[in-house]
Every structure is written in C-alpha cells, then in structure tokens.
Homo-oligomer: A and B are copies of this chain.
Amino acid sequence: MPYPYHQINDDDITYFEALFPSNRITRKESIKKEYFHDEMPEYGIFPPDLYIEAINKEEVSTVMRYAYQNNIPVTARGAGTGLAGGATCKYGGILLSLMKMNKISQIDYENLTITVEPGALLTEVAEVAQAGGLFYPPDPGERTASIGGTVITNAGGMRAVKYGVTRDYVRAIEAVLPDGEIVNFSSNVVKNTTGYDIKDIIIGSEGTLCILTEVTLRLIPAPKYTWSIIVPYDEINACIETVPKLLQMSFIPTAIEFLEAELLDIVEKHLNKSFPDRNGKAYLIVMIDGSSRKEIEQMINEASAICIESGAKDALICNTDERSTSVWSVRAAVLEGMKADSVAQEECDVVVPRARIADYVKMAKIIGKKYGIRIITVGHAGDGNIHTELLRDEQLSDEQWLSNTTACLKELYALSKELGGQLSGEHGIGNGRLEFLEDFIGKRMYRLFQSIKLAFDDKNILNPGKLVVLEKIDLEGIK
C-alpha cells in the first residue's frame, strides 16, 4: 500500500462498537465473502477490515469524521451489483453499507420528484413512481441495484436513446464529504447556476468524492403506450447499419437493442427462455412509446418501413404484455446466459458515436478472431453503447486468457478512441478498467482527474485506488 493508511486496530474497533449495535457492525474475520467483490470478482477480491451498516446520514458523518482524522480508507456500498469492481475495499479499511438507508418519500406531485435514500432499490423507486401514475425512466439491466449505486455510477440502460441516463433525473443530492461534513448539491429546482455544478461531477464519481445519503429524483408523465418491434436480419451488418437510419425518424425511439442469434441459443440452452422469433442471424428490438394509439401505430409503421427497406426479413409487433415479456426477459438474461456458457468473461463497455456503431461491431469481431477469443456484441445499439463480451472457452490456459484479453481490450479501446468513442459508456472505471484509463484520456486529463479527486478528498481515503490512482504519485506534487 503506497499511501500509508492507518491499519484498523482494536482501539478503532472499540470506538465503532460503542457507536453501532452489534447487528450492524462486523469484524474482519466474520465479514461475508460476498462483500469482498461486486458482480465482477474478476476485478478484484478485497476483504474489508470492518463492515458497518449505517441507518442515517449522521452515522455516515460520524464514520467519515473518525476515518478522516485517523486516515482510514472507507468504501461505501449499495447492493454490490456493479460491473467495474468499484464498491470494494482495495486497501482494506471500512466497508460502509448504505442498504439500511432505504426510505422512499411520497411522490411530490407539485415538483414531480421523489426523494430517496441510497439503499432503496431501483426497482422499488420505479414501482412507486408507476403506482403514482408517473415514470422513472432509467433502466439499467440490473434492477436490483440500489438507487444510490445507480446515481454514483451514472447508470445507463437501454432507454437512454429517448430518455437519457440516470444523470438526467437527479435533481438534488445530499452527501457526506470525506471529512464528515454533510452537504447538499443543488436542491429541488429545475435550473441552477449558483456556482460550480458539483452535483454532476458527483454523479458517476464511483464513490471516490463523497458518500450519498439522499437523492431527489425527477419523475415524468408516464407514456400511455409502449410497444416494440422485433426485427430479424439474415446478416449482422445490415442489421446494425439500420440503427443510424432509425435515429433519423420524425420521433425518437425509446430503445434500440441489438442481439446476435448466437445469444438466443445460449439463453435458451442455459436458462430455458425462448425468443418469439428464430429466423434471423441478428436482431434489432426497437421500443417505441407514444401518447395515443394512433400515434404509436404511425410510429411503429415508420420504424418498420425503415427496417424492411434496410434489409430486415420482417418486423414483428409486440403490443401485448405477454409478447413483450417474452422478448425483454430474454434480453435481460443474456449476461447470465453468457456466464453459464463460458469459463470466464471479460467485458468491454465502450460507447461510440451512433454513426460509427456498424464500424465498431465489424472491427470488434475481427479483433476477437485475431486473439482466439469468442466475442459476442450485444446491447444498446441505439445509444452507441455496444457491450462487447469476451468469453473464455475451456481450451484457453489461464495465461493465454489473461494476456489475450488484455491485448484484445487494448485494441478494442484503441478502436473506440479512433471512432471518437469513450472507454466506458455505462459501467464505469472502478478497478477493472483502471489500467486502461490514463492511456485512453491522456496524461494531462489524468492529472486533472487526480486534482479533482484531491479537491474533494485531500487524504485519499474515500474508495481509494478506484477510477483514478493517486498512490503512484507524490500527493503533495499535484496541484
């Protein structure tokens, strides 16, 4: 550990055990192994020295105040469903769970907002909104994520095409700074130019700048009709080349997802879920919503015509709950399917300009072949965020897998950069993509990241070693 953190000792434990009831504090030896990693154990397994569950912001503040004074690293954690190795204790210290801070306010109809503690689940928030006749659009695949986790990672999901990402729905944040101070970033207002927009740099900061204790989220009127079309193609290029054309319609589609037929085989084989159509080699699923039946019919017709003109074999309308469920449950199961179908996985979460998606998918396949790695592309074609899954088959040795995936990822990131894309579209940097960041963004930008980290966390105690590394460098040398 290059930075000399204080190693938690009996005195520290005594201090915290006097403050927290025994069912909310766990010593190192009894901490459950699930807290050593997130959904990607490939990105590091790190045992905390102490596990604490907070129930309010004052407790979070108390923990941070002590940690700041005593130079102890703290990592906040939600549901642990991240895909970047973010919510783990890379340098030991305290894992501070926010899952017991899970209150959801009543809907504020006059401001069209809802106020939520970070440990509430995304799915619960969406349900409360829906039950109240409103709509919370962000929908990353993982609906058991905590809402705080989705805010601190700026979770995306497929509806970003029309509705944007989590950032677009966060109106205000209450948080605890590394020194324990409780602060508010913006408030329940629609516009704000009161100095620096700190709220937005917190969103997506992966727990490295502050700890969320409450978020106020914007809700919108619920769309009255949501239909989808399933569009099979004989050929992957024609399929993916349809996407930019769909983005030039007279309206914005809700989602445009992309699936290769190979994935449908995998999901059927391992999870026994079948897709309503199996005639294509590649599919688009286009989701559309509208305010009247007539409007949505027109939209569906416009989208279908574009797909057929672009070489689709068909455009099957899903306008019943049953049909929609059968489509979207397969889409939701692809990650689980791929895990079942391979020995190990790596994942590339690049995002490229939407005009370059076809180029990216074509080249990604070629790069995968070069390294003998099975590559499946899947996901959010409509927003340029194609998840590129690298699957390890049994014949590869540990060393081959490691060196080939690293080399393959480097080429995929270089490709993304060349196409004007980014390193991560929605999963974040965390620990898993950290080694690729400095090369991608450049030295000067990396230094700016370090300066920003230090502006908030001058002792580098909050989720250290994630998103940006300070340990390598002389802390005093950064301005």
A residues contacting B by CB (< 8 A) are: 108-112, 153-154, 156, 160-161, 165, 167-168, 177, 181, 183, 186-198, 200-201, 203-205, 220-221, 244, 247-252, 291-292, 295, 349, 351-355, 380, 383-385, 420-429, 437, 440-442, 444-445, 448-449, 451-456, 458, 467-468, 479
Docked-complex contact B110 and A244, CB < 8 angstroms = yes
Q: Which of A193, A251, A440, A453 has the most CB of B within 10 A?
A: A193
The minimal Cβ–Cβ distance linking A45 to chain B, given in whole angstroms, is 23
- Using Cβ atoms and an 8 Å threshold, which residues of chain B touch A440? 194
The minimal Cβ–Cβ distance linking A251 to chain B, given in whole angstroms, is 6
Known contacts A177-B444, A295-B295, A448-B456; A111/B195 CB under 8 A:
no
The minimal Cβ–Cβ distance linking A66 to chain B, given in whole angstroms, is 18
Sample 19 A-B pairs with CB under 8 A, ordered by A number: A109-B248, A110-B244, A110-B248, A111-B353, A187-B422, A189-B352, A189-B385, A189-B420, A191-B383, A191-B385, A193-B429, A194-B423, A195-B467, A196-B468, A197-B200, A197-B205, A201-B201, A295-B295, A455-B479
The minimal Cβ–Cβ distance linking A367 to chain B, given in whole angstroms, is 20
- Using Cβ atoms and an 8 Å threshold, which residues of chain B touch A428? 193
Docked-complex contact A154 and B247, CB < 8 angstroms = no
Known contacts A422-B186, A458-B479; A355/B111 CB under 8 A:
yes
- Using Cβ atoms and an 8 Å threshold, which residues of chain B touch A349? 193
- Using Cβ atoms and an 8 Å threshold, which residues of chain B touch A187? 353, 420-422
Docked-complex contact B156 and A424, CB < 8 angstroms = no
The minimal Cβ–Cβ distance linking A164 to chain B, given in whole angstroms, is 8
A357 (CB) vs chain B CBs: closest residue? B110
Docked CA distance A351–B191 (Å): 7
- Using Cβ atoms and an 8 Å threshold, which residues of chain B touch A220? 252
Known contacts A187-B422, A291-B295, A451-B455; A427/B193 CB under 8 A:
yes
